Chain A
Amino acid sequence: MHDVIIIGGGISGFTAAMYAGRLGLKTLIVEAGLIGGVITTTNIVENWPGIKKISGEELAMSVVEHAKEYDIDIETSLIKKVKIGGKKGCFTVSSGSKTFESKTVIFATGAKHKKHPAKNADKFENKGVHYCALCDGPIYRGKKVAVIGGSDSAAKEALFLSEFASEVHMLVRGEKLLGEKINNERLTKNKKITVHTNTNIVEMKGDLLLDTLVIEGKNKRTKEFKVHAAFVAIGIIPLSELAEGIGVKLNKKKEIIIDRTASTNIKGVFACGDVTDTKFKQAITGAGEAVTASYWAYAYVNDPEYVCPRGEEKP
């Protein structure tokens, strides 16, 4: 039986694993597919303390390698169910074919990209509508592309795409850009990038591939905008279903509610990273939560009065 099972192998999950291993907890980290998580699809990270500039992939892999310095177990499985109780353990985590037991669980399950709600957006997914500029942007070398969204993530997607595309149009639904000042200034200075505010995409058109976005302006009039591709960056959806299944409290956005000890409402259950209700989400904030979660999991299992939790709520 493990002291802690960390579900999710992104930067938060592996930071939690690194610290749990460091604290001597018998640790298992389970990742469904991509070790390193979604940050590996980020071109450049510039806000990790001590490193001025690094690719998301390099950063994630450095955290993974750091975690591997300690005696931890790593498993690649898609976890389908978590339940309270077990043969020996307090929690049972299972993929269907494999089952693991532990004294505590840390949810580091992250988030997925929010799909665009416009008519036909699903029809053109991977046929001109994309959710990862780093993966698919280079295919559109010399083409006219759009980025849908006004966040800092959207700004970074636009800046990356400008390295390949002939024109990049940032289509922002609101009145202004919402990203960090440093990236907004980069957008302004970049001659390939044009920012359009008050633009709501209501439909996507094309034959086999996307070729037109139907944009509704502030005046509710629509116009057609020709593009070869649209990269969507309109937010994320937390992957919190497993936690919800054991009674972990979520907020309206389906994010796991945590306190300053990264604890959820259920004893022995912690969470960190993009799946939590932290408003400002960055790799560094997720890593901070991860260390906090591991420390309090350690404190929890080493409490002289520790008894296996059975789904009790924290007082």
Chain B
Amino acid sequence: MAKIKIYSTPQCIYCKKYKEFFKEEGIEYEDINVAEDHEAAHEMLEKSGQLSTPVLDIDGTIIAGYNLEAVKKILKIK
């Protein structure tokens, strides 16, 4: 199973959409709240080049912003 990290803030609507999608599909993910964890915010910046949520790390592939089609493609979900 793919290892998924989501860099998010609690208020971010696009982050919630990703998490809802993962739950619906029964996919496990690690949720990292960058509003509370400044080191994680820097990690997100290093990986994605941006300080903006959501950012996904799916087995090392980085998706910055909301792009469900790209996520489905990586996870091979129709």
Binding site for B on A (CB under 8 A): 33-34, 36, 40-41, 43, 57, 126-128, 130, 134-139, 141, 164, 208-209, 229
B6 at the interface (CB under 8 A from A): no
B10 at the interface (CB under 8 A from A): yes
Secondary structure class of chain B's binding surface, majority of residues = loop
User: 24 A-B Cβ contacts within 8 A?
Assistant: A33-B66, A34-B14, A34-B17, A43-B11, A57-B13, A57-B16, A126-B50, A126-B52, A126-B64, A127-B49, A127-B50, A127-B51, A134-B12, A135-B9, A135-B13, A135-B52, A136-B9, A136-B51, A138-B10, A138-B11, A139-B9, A139-B35, A139-B51, A209-B51
Most chain-A Cβ atoms within 10 A of its Cβ — which of B12, B17, B51, B66? B51
State the interface size on chain B (CB cutoff 8 A).
21
Q: A36 to chain B: which residues have CB within 8 Å?
A: 13
Q: A128 to chain B: which residues have CB within 8 Å?
A: 51
CB distance from A58 to the nearest CB of B (A): 11
Instruction: Please provide the chain B residues from 20 to 43 with a CB less than 8 Å away from any CB of chain A in the complex.
Output: 34-36, 41
Contacts between the two chains (Cβ within 8 Å), count: 57
Do residues A134 and B13 form an inter-chain contact, with CB atoms below 8 A?
Answer: yes
Nearest A-chain residue to B68, judged by Cβ: A33
Binding site for A on B (CB under 8 A): 9-14, 16-17, 34-36, 41, 45, 49-53, 64, 66, 68
CB distance from A38 to the nearest CB of B (A): 10
Q: A41 to chain B: which residues have CB within 8 Å?
A: 13
Most chain-B Cβ atoms within 10 A of its Cβ — which of A36, A139, A164? A139
Q: A208 to chain B: which residues have CB within 8 Å?
A: 45
Q: B12 to chain A: which residues have CB within 8 Å?
A: 134-136
Q: A33-B68, A164-B35 are in contact. Are A135 and B49 (CB under 8 A)?
A: no
A43 vs B10: C-alpha distance in the bound complex, in angstroms? Answer: 12
CB distance from B51 to the nearest CB of A (A): 6
Do residues A138 and B35 form an inter-chain contact, with CB atoms below 8 A?
Answer: yes
Q: A209 to chain B: which residues have CB within 8 Å?
A: 45, 51
Do residues B66 and A34 form an inter-chain contact, with CB atoms below 8 A?
Answer: yes
